[in-house]
Structure 1
Amino acid sequence: MRPIEFRAQNINGAWVFGNFNILKEKLGNVTVGNVTAGSYISNSAGAPFAYKVRPETVSQFTGLTDENGKKIFEGDIVEIDVHDHLDGNVIKGKVIFLEGAWLVTDSGSFAISLWSEINEIEVIGNIHENPELLEVAE
């Protein structure tokens, strides 16, 4: 069974990892730090060790690591050596979750199962910090 883990940028721009929770309203009369409604990533201890995060940066761990041992998250940009598939090409794509499977896609022209390429894949960035990595050279 794969571990459930999330990552997101906190409101200061730093990446944090752990459990994800959306707080829709203040927790009654309980005051723990500056806890307000919003999206949070916390460690296993939970509040007060939770970080308010930018909801658009929340991504889930796929349960897989790349060839260097780096965890692969939804929204990562990866390079895949597809020498056995497409004449020795290296392709770039974004990790997505679609219809129950983790896929790598290059904006729609192809999609390949993340599981099938696990030994030949490297995380090179993510869509939040490195969107230019997915731009097509003209």
Structure 2
Amino acid sequence: MREILFKAKRKNWRDLPKEEWWVEGSYHHQTDYYGESCDKHYIIDGTETDMEGYGEHYEIDLETLCQYTGLKDKNGNRIWENDIISINTYDYMEPSEDFFGKVVYCEAWACWCIQQPDNEKPIPLCECEGSYQTDRFVEGSTFDNPELFEGE
């Protein structure tokens, strides 16, 4: 079964040390609070912290919400939507083709794709990984390292 996870920066991330900016878990959109109208977005981290089994929850900056693709890079790092990745493919141990770009979800193809800086049309990840061997590397995030994507 596919693991469905989200990550986002905490709403107050600018006031926190860098290692506390991002939280991972389930996404929750709260529209009602004890009969009062509200519009808040949370990540619930999945640790059981009370008798009802709810995890620790963090209010998030909705603009930074990213979904987990279900893929990991060569070093075991999760690949998230809006990550900047490079993919090196090999045919029978010879370099074949390299891809670099931002991970996006393409509704037209219903799959995760790479949006390359110099190409308007995203490339499905499955097309980037059709060779004998593939090395994927997370280079950074468009939220933390926008210069990586813009500089190409």
Shorter-chain TM-score: which interval? 0.7 to 0.9
Aligned length: 129
Match of 2:113? Answer: 103
Q: Which residue of 2 aligns with 1:39?
A: 41
Runs of 4+ in structure 1 deviating by more than 4 angstroms, as ranges, are none
Q: Which shifted more, 90-99 or 2-11?
A: 90-99
The answer to whether the 8 Å contact 1:20/1:42 transfers is yes
Q: What is residue 11 of structure 1 aligned with on the other side? A: 11
Unaligned 5+ runs, structure 1 = 30-35
Q: CA deviation at 1:16?
A: 0.3
**What is the alpha-carbon root mean square deviation over aligned residues?**
2.5
For normalisation by structure 1, the TM-score amounts to 0.79
Deviations 1:26-51 (A, max 9, x none): 2338xxxxxx6311000224656100
Question: 1 or 2, which has the higher strand percentage?
Answer: 2
Secondary structure of the structure 1 residue equivalent to 2:33: coil
Instruction: Show the 5 A alignment for 1:36-75.
Output: 37-44=39-46, 45=48, 47=54, 49-75=56-82
Deviation sequence 1:82-131 (CA, Å, 0-9, x none):
455xx755432000111210101114615332234283211110111111
Identity %: 34
Contiguous gaps of at least 5 residues in structure 2:
14-20
CA distance in 1, matches of 2:44, 2:137: 27
